[in-house]
């Protein structure tokens, strides 16, 4: 992972950036527009879904995005954001673990034929090692809350989406858009039905801390890069996924766990993968504070060490059989 731009997370830093724009940029109006968009520093919100386009875009400390934020549709600012991430995913992006425990599938030892054959089973809703398919509702979407087995570990696996990296690898190796389409439709269906609520009211199968951490590290962050160039992963879905990743990382930061490698690994994965997000430095610091024994070197080196240790713990993370 690369260090990325220096993060700024205080209102004063934003004010300094606005001052620079007002004094040096040929369009002084940008200063007032950016000031309005940066209101998220003062606005209380439960979810990134509650933010308008300008407010959401100003969560990112990317100059070419910030200078294009306006009070309209923000087409140019959005295009700048997606262009930025296109360069990021092409240069360096977080890979999924080689051992996909939820599928009992080892990517490192599988041939291309074996990998694609397993991905084809995923298209038929064989999504995890038990082989029990989820309930499909009347509009052809997975029912993410229906616990067919009455077993919480099975429902945990369903909501971790650990088959997305498998679909991503099959897509990268074959170019077959069926894999990207399945991912994209599932992403939209899940985000439309699962967004942050008060912790006291959260569905534990979706918002349990460890499940959120595993979801980010194993499936969501790697899949963001793996499917980036698919037409099915369009602008709307990219923004949809970014908003949800932000919400999930923010949720993890609010938890109180100490010395939990899996939870901290999910949080530091988001902090390292999205250093452009103004809150990312806080995510990394919280993860490091929770696992002080892994602190060595600079903050980024510490974060990388913690992620490596978390991945080792993840490789050993096994659950009781679903039945």
**Residue where a domain terminates, one of 61, 91, 121:** 91
Residue 38 included in any domain: yes
Relative orientation angle of helices 177-193 and 164-174, to the nearest 10 degrees:
150
**Residue where a domain terminates, one of 91, 107, 135:** 91
Residue 155 included in any domain: yes
Whole-number pLDDT of residue 154: 94
Q: Are residues 38 and 147 in the same domain?
A: no
Q: Are residues 142 and 167 in the same domain?
A: yes
- The string of pLDDT tens digits covering residues 226-248 is 999 999 999 999 999 999 999 99
Residues 245-266: b if buried by 16+ CB within 10 A, e if exposed? bbbbbbbbbebeeeebbbbbbb
- The string of pLDDT tens digits covering residues 54-110 is 999 999 999 999 999 987 889 999 999 999 999 999 998 999 999 999 999 999 999
Q: Are residues 83 and 133 in the same domain?
A: no
Residue 321 included in any domain: no
Residue 320 included in any domain: no
- State the DSSP string of 263-288: HHHHHHHHHHH-TTBTTHHHHHHHHH
Q: Rounded to whole angstroms, what are the CA distances from 48 to 40, 125, 171, 251, 263?
A: 10, 30, 29, 11, 21
Q: Rounded to whole angstroms, what are the CA distances from 60 to 63, 80, 229, 276?
A: 9, 11, 21, 5
pTM of this prediction exceeds 0.85? no
Tell me the β-bridge partners of 136.
142
Q: Are residues 145 and 274 in the same domain?
A: yes
- Please state the domain count of the chain: 2
Residue 228 included in any domain: yes
**Segments forming the whole domain that contains residue 287:** 99-315
- The string of pLDDT tens digits covering residues 248-293 is 999 999 887 665 777 888 898 999 999 999 999 999 888 878 776 5
Residues 80-102: b if buried by 16+ CB within 10 A, e if exposed? bbbebbeebbeeebbebbebbbb
Q: Are residues 59 and 131 in the same domain?
A: no
302: pLDDT confidence band, cut at 50, 70 and 90? Answer: low
**Residue where a domain terminates, one of 67, 91, 115:** 91
């Amino acid at each position: 992972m690369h260090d990325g731009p220096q993060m700024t997370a205080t209102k004063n830093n934003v004010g300094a950036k606005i001052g620079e724009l007002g004094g040096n940029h040929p369009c002084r109006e940008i200063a007032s527009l950016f000031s309005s968009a940066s209101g998220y520093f003062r606005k209380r919100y439960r979810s990134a879904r509650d933010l308008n386009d300008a407010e959401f875009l100003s969560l990112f400390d990317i100059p070419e995005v910030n200078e294009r934020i306006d009070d309209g549709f923000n087409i140019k600012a959005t295009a700048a954001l997606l262009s930025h991430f296109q360069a990021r995913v092409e240069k360096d992006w977080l890979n999924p673990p080689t051992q996909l425990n939820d599928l009992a599938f080892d990517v490192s030892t599988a041939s291309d034929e074996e990998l694609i054959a397993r991905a084809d089973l995923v298209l038929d809703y064989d999504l995890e090692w038990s082989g029990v398919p989820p309930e499909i509702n009347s509009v052809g979407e997975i029912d993410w809350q229906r616990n067919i087995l009455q077993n919480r570990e099975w429902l945990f696996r369903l909501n971790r989406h650990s088959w997305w990296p498998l679909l991503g690898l099959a897509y990268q190796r074959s170019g077959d858009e069926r894999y990207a389409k399945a991912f994209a439709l599932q992403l939209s269906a899940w985000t439309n039905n699962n967004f942050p609520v008060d912790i006291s009211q959260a569905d534990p199968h979706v918002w349990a801390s460890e499940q959120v951490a595993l979801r980010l590290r194993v499936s969501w962050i790697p899949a963001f890069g793996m499917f980036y160039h698919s037409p099915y992963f369009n602008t709307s879905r990219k923004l949809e996924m970014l908003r949800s990743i932000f919400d999930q990382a923010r949720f993890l930061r609010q938890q109180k766990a100490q010395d939990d490698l899996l939870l901290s690994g999910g949080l530091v994965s988001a902090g390292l993968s999205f250093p452009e997000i103004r809150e990312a430095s806080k995510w990394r610091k919280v993860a490091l504070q929770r696992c002080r024994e892994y602190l060595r070197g600079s903050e980024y080196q510490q974060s990388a060490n913690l992620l490596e240790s978390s991945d080792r713990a993840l490789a050993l993370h096994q659950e009781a059989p679903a039945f």
